[in-house]
Amino acid sequence: MKHLRPLTLASLALVAGLFVSCTNGTGSSSGGVAVYRAYDRPAKLPKNPSAVRVKVSLSKQRAYVMEGNEPLLVMPVSVGAPGSTTPPGNFTIFNKEAKHRANTHGYAYQGNKTLKTMLAQKPAGWAFKGTPMPYWCEFKPNFGFHTGWLKHHPCTHGCIRMHENLAPKFFKIVKVGTPVNIAYSQPEDATLGNIPLPPDSGPLPDYDGSMYTGEGYFSQHKTPTFN
């Protein structure tokens, strides 16, 4: 998945918002981060892991992890924005990696400065770490479920983002071979889809850049529990 559109170094230098810091927000937005981080949804472990399937509603931005007719986890997700949509269809999870990083985009860093960038556009002399994509579950080459900031509108470059507290639950429930159906809508939208949502992450201040260049983002979640 591509998180970042290519930018020139000149434009990167001019856009201060690309420097990652959690000190940019106001007190109220910082409080919003606390509410966001506290968000959670109940989950169950399957009796028969081979019977688990995942259904994604693009219009509702919901994922339903089902075992037969029983919901194991119902969660909000963020899907692809117009022009970089999440592919609809029937897929199978074929790769799982708890500490996955992107190869082509991520964070350049030097001293206490951190900059979102493409690897090919990294400033000379800066170190680089790929974008962390915790609890990666790949269902199509370069498309997967992974931890990421959730918004209330489609916003990704095609991948399916999960809340930081729900991604490890999803990762535990599904396995390589779990089928995934992605469609404009799902029958479960009407019966299961009206769940509480976390705050929209758009107005919230980001975590400090060291969260992404180090290992912190891979453990930025509650300890997962199951009913």
List the chain domain ranges. 9-219
Give the tens place of pLDDT for each residue, 129-147.
999 999 999 999 999 999 9
Give mean pLDDT, residues 8-17: 34
Q: Measured between alpha carbons, how far is residue 50 from residues 37, 93, 160 in Å?
A: 31, 12, 22
Has residue 85 got a pLDDT over 90? Answer: yes
The pLDDT of residue 30 is 54
CATH domain 9-219 topology: L,D-transpeptidase catalytic domain-like (2.40.440)
Which helix (DSSP H) or strand (DSSP E) does residue 43 occupy?
Answer: none
Give the tens place of pLDDT for each residue, 156-194.
999 999 999 999 999 999 999 999 999 999 999 999 999
The pLDDT of residue 12 is 35
Q: What is the CA radius of gyration of the chain?
A: 18
Q: Measured between alpha carbons, how far is residue 200 from residues 32, 82, 108 in Å?
A: 9, 18, 26
Give the tens place of pLDDT for each residue, 147-166.
999 999 999 999 999 999 99
